[in-house]
Amino acid sequence: MKPPIAIIGGSGVKSIIKGEEKIIGTPYGPTPTLTIGQVKGREAIYLPRHGEGHTAPPHKVNYRANIWGLKNLGVERIVATNAVGAIDTTLSPGEIVIPSDLIDFTKSRRGTFYDGSPVTHIDVSEPYCPTLRHAIASAGSDNKKNLRNDIVMACTEGPRYETPAEIRMLKTLGGGIVGMTGAPEAFLAREQEICYASISFISNMAAGLQRTLSAKEVEEKGRETGQILNKILIEAIGKIPDTREGCSCGRALAQAQLNKPEVKEQTC
Ligand SMILES: [Zn+2]
């Protein structure tokens, strides 16, 4: 049996997986209700990031329980979806992009599984798995969508939207899109040696680039874009290679930890 592929996303995504529902207990608390089924003949798991009925705001999502729970089920690959605002004015609402890098401006979230020993410094020189990004891009091409894949995502704390001055700052730093759920999810997945990539849909222009921002508008754009997003997701899952030879995500801890027990044994 091949390891299952997980999708973390909003409620619209749930429709692509039908199957058994399960909650996994973790040291960080329970996961939301997961749906375990098949997509393109492969075992797939859907995790609703914000819980059922979208009740957890971005800064209260239990990212550690979510990633731990998926790891516990044998997941080696995660494709995450995010609603984002466009900072890059060559992008427009309704467009779907594949982020290539991530700026973390979150403040209150538990961002690591390694709060103590062994001290662990994970490498995020390439925060998103290149193999998964390629699979998503190629699924986009099959659907006649040329998905931009050179976009830097900035992740803010929320739950409020950003101010125009904050958006100008993020633009100066190279941010092309802004959302509230990209971090620490991507980093936690890397700490668990899980391949992770995002597929982001642009629901609005960021603050200062359109008159006002409304959560309703974001929700409506999500519904509009949902169908094509789901199509690309399904295709992408079919295109993910069976083995993980094309990336180093599965070996992320090999060079990341200080004072590993085996090193101690050698030096004593
Ligand atoms: Zn990978």
Q: In this predicted model, what pLDDT tens digit does every residue of 108-127 receive, in sequence order?
A: 999 999 999 999 999 999 99
> Please, how many CA atoms are within 13 Å of residue 265, restricted to the half-sphere of its CB?
3
* pLDDT given at position 266: 52
Residue 136 phi, psi (nearest 5): -70, -45
pLDDT at 265 over 80: no
Q: How far is the CA of 199 from the centre of ligand 1 (A)?
A: 15
For the chain, what percent of residues have pLDDT higher than 70? 96
pLDDT at 259 over 80: no
CB-count exposure of residue 20 (10 Å: 0-12, 13-18, 19+)? exposed
Q: How far is the CA of 196 from the centre of ligand 1 (A)?
A: 7
Q: How far is the CA of 77 from the centre of ligand 1 (A)?
A: 7
pLDDT digits (tens, 9 = 90+) for 214-230: 888 878 877 888 889 99
Report domain extents, the chain.
81-267
C-alpha 7 chain-centroid distance: 9
Q: How far is the CA of 129 from the centre of ligand 1 (A)?
A: 4
Q: Of 157, 171, 149, which Cα lies nearest the Cα of 86?
A: 171
Residue 14 pLDDT class (50, 70, 90 cuts): confident
Give the lowest-confidence range in 89-98, 111-120, 173-182, 209-218: 209-218
CATH class belonging to 81-267: alpha beta
Structure-token pair, residue 66: 């979510």
Average pLDDT, the chain: 92
Concatenate the DSSP letters of all residues of 157-176 into one string. Answer: --SSPPPHHHHHHHHHTT--
